[in-house]
Amino acid sequence: MKRLGAVLLACAAGALLAPGTASAEADRLGALVISPATGDLDTPIDLVTAGECSRGTTFVVTVDGKGLASERGNLVGATKIDSLGLPRYPGHYVVPVASTLREYLLRSLDRARLSGEYEIAFICRNTLDTQPLQEFVGSLRVDEDGGFTALGPAGGEVRDLVGAEAFDRAEEADRLSREAEMAAVEPEISEPTSSEPAAASGPINADPGQASSGGIEWRAILLVVGAILMLGAAYSWWRGRSRGGGADANADDESVGAAR
């Protein structure tokens, strides 16, 4: 009886452990495209999935390969799938990776240099649960000079993955968004008007007739003043002549009287 009890206990323990071992395997749904497909370890990258998860409410992005420490963090920590917002490409997830590969690998490596192939996985799982449910996987090769190249489907074109129509629609939306942002921050520059140069040199007469009449008035005043001055000069000359003539006549009278 003791021996039978021990066998039953062992079987029960195996049944409890077996699901945990099997659950470590996630259903692979397709490829994970790395964009851009080539670059260096400081190049910002986006990850685009070949589809969407039908299970799980959160996701993580992991990196696996030689030289990485066993106790390493994720490239992208546990994140609500809903936080990705409206899909850029319907039916696909797009994840802009905040940290560069260099930043991640420097804190995750257990040796100074790295090279070789590394697998990046987008893993869907439930909240507060580390069990992977579904995943999209891509791989890249890192050379000794610090450059990387996405391999196989991971290096494919995003346009081919999501379809030309969806890709072009997203690119057009990006272009319009950039133009709107630029228009919002750039100051408005007004076109110079014909009155602006004149304003710099002096006041502007709004009425051209007023300007011409003002000129006529000044000319008339000058003519009147000139005429007055000329009349005054002529009068002075006339008075001088009159006085001179009277003196000569008196002198002639006196000389005639003396002759008498």
**What's the confidence (pLDDT) of residue 207?**
54
Closest CA to 145 of 97, 102, 110: 102
Lowest mean pLDDT among 161-165, 192-196, 253-257: 253-257
Q: What pTM does this model have?
A: 0.61
Q: How far apart are CA 95 and CA 250, in angstroms?
A: 128
What's the total number of domains in the chain?
1
**Residue 148: inside a domain, yes or no?**
yes
**Residue 248: inside a domain, yes or no?**
no
**Residue 57: inside a domain, yes or no?**
yes
**Residue 63: inside a domain, yes or no?**
yes
Which ranges constitute the DSSP H helices of the chain?
2-23, 101-108, 158-162, 164-185, 195-201, 208-259
User: Is 128 in contact with 86 (CB distance < 8 Å)?
Assistant: no
**Residue 229: inside a domain, yes or no?**
no
Tens of pLDDT along 35-83? 999 999 899 999 999 999 999 999 999 999 887 877 778 999 999 999 9
**Residue 193: inside a domain, yes or no?**
no
Q: Domain span at residue 104? A: 25-162
Q: How far apart are CA 138 and CA 123, in angstroms?
A: 12
> Domain holding 102: CATH number?
2.60.40.10
The average confidence (pLDDT) of the chain is 77
Q: How far apart are CA 64 and CA 114, in angstroms?
A: 12
**Residue 39: inside a domain, yes or no?**
yes
Residue 28: C-alpha distances to residues 54, 136, 235, 249 (Å):
12, 6, 123, 144
User: Mean pLDDT, to the nearest integer, of 207-228?
Assistant: 65
Question: DSSP secondary structure string, 79-116?
Answer: EEGGGG-S-SSTT--EEE-SS-HHHHHHHHBSSS---E
Tens of pLDDT along 119-158? 999 999 998 888 999 999 999 999 988 899 999 999 999 9
**What's the confidence (pLDDT) of residue 94?**
96
**Residue 168: inside a domain, yes or no?**
no
Other CB atoms within a 10 A radius of the CB of residue 91 amount to 12
